[in-house]
Amino acid sequence: MLSIDLTGKRAFVAGVADDGGFGFAIAKALAEAGATVCLGTWPPAYGIFKTMLERGKFDESLVMSGGGKLSFERIYPLDADFDVLADMPADVKESKRYREHGDVSIQGVADLMKRDFGPEPCLDIVVHSLANGPEVKKPLLETSRKGYLAAVGVSAYSYAAMVQRLGPMVRPGGSFLALTYMAGERVVPGYGGGMSSAKAALESDTRTLAYEAGRKWGHRVNVISAGPWASRAASAIGFIETMIEYCKANSPLPEAIVAREVGATAAFLSSSLGSGITGTLIYVDKGYHSMGMAVDRPVL
């Protein structure tokens, strides 16, 4: 009998700050399969997230199918906009929400893991659940250079940076996984600020990183293109419910996705069952990506 078995594996899921997003669903699925899970949380949200965990605000979401309770081995403050501490502007470094954490760069978190788990490779799975576009509500024609580059930097380049800096810390045969959205391939009006460009770059980089990380370390690098989901981050776009209903009405399976479906796919790709899959984009969208015409209205 085939089963997803991640017993003895350690995962790092970057981009979890609540229990409502794909990152949390992936972390839970990996734990359900037997992995121990560390998180990377944006520093301004770090204190609130840990407080809510400690106060039991997420207890219902933490219940595992086997009856246990999801727990996290470590929670690291992480700002993936910075590769090393020296990249961080002084005003950010000394701000109230950052100064207590020290080095929250990608390299800083890598160094903390080496301190916590030893200098030898200590990871098996790395998940990039990070995206931010400060001007996401602006059409591309109105997006500033600064806003565009910020979207690409945090949402796409950070994946390359994580593979670069965490790759040596991942045991041979490791798995890297990121999350994308169909706006990287097709026009989604309202999804602006350079975010569509960032997703396209993320998907292209996945193929190149798969080749380079595969040849260098034997790691696999993939990306999941998930259908629209009303996470707190996605809700900031302003029309996420409309997107969900439209995709639901026009998909081969006329229903909305649920986060656990993305989590289950991530667990499969991270396991030995997905050992032959790399450089690949996997759709988890009820088949919406395959449609060339809307079907929620009469065909003329």
Taking only the tens place, the pLDDT of each residue in 82-104 is 999 999 999 999 999 999 999 99
pLDDT for 233 beyond 90:
no
Cβ neighbours of 146 (radius 10 Å): 11
pLDDT for position 294: 87
Catalytic residue among 181, 211, 246, 283: 181
Q: How confident is the model at residue 255 (pLDDT cuts 50, 70, 90)?
A: very high
Q: How far apart are CA 295 and CA 291, in angstroms?
A: 9
Half-sphere exposure of residue 89: CA atoms within 13 angstroms, side-chain side: 4
Q: Give dist(CA 117, CA 70) in Å, integer.
A: 20
Q: Which member of 191, 211, 283, 288 is catalytic?
A: 191
Mode of pairing for the β-strands spanning 220-226 and 281-284: parallel
Domain extents for the chain? 10-286
Look at the block and give the residue holding tokens 């200590």.
122
Architecture of the CATH domain 10-286 = 3-Layer(aba) Sandwich (3.40)
Q: What is the DSSP string of 176-203?
A: EEEEE-GGGTS--TT--TTHHHHHHHHH
Closest CA to 70 of 46, 40, 36: 36
Whole-model pTM: value is: 0.95
pLDDT the model gives residue 299? 64
Q: In this predicted model, what pLDDT tens digit does every residue of 264-277 receive, in sequence order? A: 999 999 999 999 99
pLDDT in tens, 191-219: 999 999 999 999 999 999 999 999 999 99
In the block, tokens 């760069």 appear at 105
- Give residue 297's pLDDT: 76
The pLDDT score that the predictor gives to residue 253 is: 96
Backbone angles phi, psi at 222, to 5 degrees: -135, 175
237: pLDDT confidence band, cut at 50, 70 and 90? confident
Confidence category of residue 231, pLDDT binned at 50, 70, 90: confident
Mean pLDDT of the chain, nearest integer? 95
pLDDT at residue 268, rounded to an integer: 98
Provide mean pLDDT across the span 258-262: 97
C-alpha–C-alpha distance, residues 24 and 231, integer Å: 10
- pLDDT for 229 beyond 90: no
**Token pair for 25:** 């669903």
CA–CA gap between residue 73 and residue 75 (Å, rounded): 7
* CB 137, CB 237: distance < 8 Å: yes
Q: What is the pLDDT of residue 234?
A: 65
Q: Catalytic: 157? A: no
- Please compute the mean of the pLDDT values over residues 182-186 and round it to a whole number: 94
Percent of the chain with pLDDT over 90: 89
Asked if 181 is an active-site residue, the reply is yes
Report whether pLDDT(300) > 80: no
**3-class DSSP state for residue 65?**
coil
CA distance 261 to 217: 29
Q: Can you tell me the mean pLDDT for 20-45?
A: 97
Concatenated DSSP letters of 207-267: HHHHHHHHHHH--EEEEEEEPP---HHHHTTS-HHHHHHHHHHHSSS-S---HHHHHHHHH
